[in-house]
Amino acid sequence: MKFDLWSFILDNFDAAGSIGAYVSLSILGFALISFVAKKKYNKAKTSIGPKWSHPIIGSFLGTIPGCGATIVVASLYQNKKVSFGGLLATFISTLGEGSFVLLGASNEADVVANLKAYLTITIFGFVAGVIFGYLFDLFGFRSSNVNDEQKHKKDISQHFKQNKLSEFLIEKLAFYIMIPMVIFLAPGAIMALWGGGIDAISSLTYWISVAFTIFCVVFYFVNLFVFKYHDCYSSYNTIKSTLLHAILDIAMVVTFVFIGLLVSNYIIDILIGVEIFNKWMQSSVYVVIFLAAIIGLMPGCGGMIAVAVAFITIPNFPMAALIAAAIATSGDGIFPLLAENKKDAMIVSLVGFVVALFVAYISFAIGF
């Protein structure tokens, strides 16, 4: 079968747009909740509870279906409002978008079995996140990042040199194009996670999803290379300024989701091939566990989704391998973390991979 590069790219634009629309709801929702909390309690500069509780809070947030929690915690970590242990706990416990593969109804497997698998890997991930989060905080591992809010104060004087054009790009063009796109795509994106959709507008949804991804990618790189101080724009003092800053985050996340999907899908579907991939999944359990952890380690949710699909479609697929992928995956939250703090992002990924193998092999040994 001949490889159609153009169709492959378009399909990944569509997939990134669908995921991005869903994740955008989390980013916008958290931004608005933060705005209300700031106005009501005036705690914008405080951490999320005492430091000793961060691994528990982080691990709990990670169990929430989807990638929204990892994106939120990555932002909190960048602003030094959560400890490294809290960040690590969130990334260990998250299942990313793979959670919806198990939570959704499936024609391939029993829904009850899927829910049981979801609960099992969620419990393993939560416990492992708390334990290893506390270990890293106990040994005093600290972030090497720079507080975004401190950078905001330092760089704000430079912002006005670029104000006119960036004001038009962010306030007018991005705000009035991206927000309507997110609203339009959101219902279909959520339904797609369970294999559904709105058939009457499926064609329109496809092209808007593609356009949404393209716009986010272009918008992100324009801001990245042209407007160095764009992050200083939002003051968080009004709802609109809060949403404007969220739009910048959405553009960045969707861009990296697209890149992650493009790379992971090319490796699995083109370089390796689906048949070989399925054979690997049916080989030695120890090998399958290791491969599942490797696949789960891929940036974004593509790897975890692939392993979750393999679990519900391949007979006798080991639960331990699903646990390995679930713990190793970092969800889409790894992308903003990579963009802001590559060192800590690599540490989180590497530690998550080691923990995934450790917990998975133990779970297999005790009969899972």
Alpha-carbon span 312 to 114, nearest angstrom: 7
The predicted model gives 150-171 an average pLDDT of 51
Q: What percent of the chain has pLDDT over 90?
A: 16
Query: What pLDDT score does 155 carry?
Result: 43
Name the residue with higher pLDDT: 46 or 65.
65
Pick the closest to residue 126 from 90, 87, 77 (CA basis).
Answer: 90
Q: What are the backbone angles phi and psi of residue 300, rounded to the nearest 5°?
A: 90, -165
96 - beta bridge partners? 66
Q: What are the backbone angles phi and psi of residue 63, rounded to the nearest 5°?
A: -75, -10
The predicted model gives 140-169 an average pLDDT of 51
CA 261 to chain centre: 12
The predicted model gives 169-182 an average pLDDT of 77
What does pLDDT average to over the chain? 76
Report H helices in 104-168: 111-138, 148-159, 163-167
pLDDT at 50 over 50: yes
Q: Which of 47-51, 93-97, 362-366 has the lowest mean pLDDT?
A: 47-51
Query: What pLDDT score does 149 carry?
Result: 44
Query: What pLDDT score does 47 carry?
Result: 60
Alpha-carbon span 114 to 112, nearest angstrom: 5
Q: What are the backbone angles phi and psi of residue 331, rounded to the nearest 5°?
A: 65, -170
Name the residue with higher pLDDT: 120 or 109.
120
Name the residue with higher pLDDT: 249 or 288.
288
Query: What pLDDT score does 158 carry?
Result: 45
Would you say 211 and 178 are in contact if contact means Cβ atoms under 8 Å apart? no
Query: What pLDDT score does 93 carry?
Result: 92
DSSP string, 27-38: HHHHHHHHHHHH
Q: What is the pLDDT of residues 250-279, one digit of tens each?
A: 787 778 778 767 776 777 677 777 677 667
Query: What pLDDT score does 46 carry?
Result: 54
Query: What pLDDT score does 2 carry?
Result: 67
Query: What pLDDT score does 102 carry?
Result: 72
DSSP label of 96 = B
pLDDT-derived band at 356 (thresholds 50, 70, 90) equals very high
Name the residue with higher pLDDT: 265 or 219.
219
Query: What pLDDT score does 62 carry?
Result: 87
CA distances from 256 to 138, 264, 284, 285 (A): 32, 12, 33, 32
pLDDT at 37 over 70: no
Name the residue with higher pLDDT: 155 or 175.
175
* Long-range Cβ contacts of 347-351 (<8 Å, 24+ apart): 348/87, 348/88, 348/91, 349/297, 351/88, 351/132, 351/136
Query: What pLDDT score does 130 carry?
Result: 94
Query: Hey, CA dihedral for 230, 231, 232, 238, is it positive or negative?
Result: positive
CA distances from 321 to 10, 194, 326, 347 (A): 31, 22, 9, 22
Question: Full-prediction pTM beyond 0.75?
Answer: no
Query: What pLDDT score does 151 carry?
Result: 45
SS3 category, 331? strand
Query: What pLDDT score does 227 carry?
Result: 57
Query: What pLDDT score does 165 carry?
Result: 58
The predicted model gives 117-133 an average pLDDT of 92
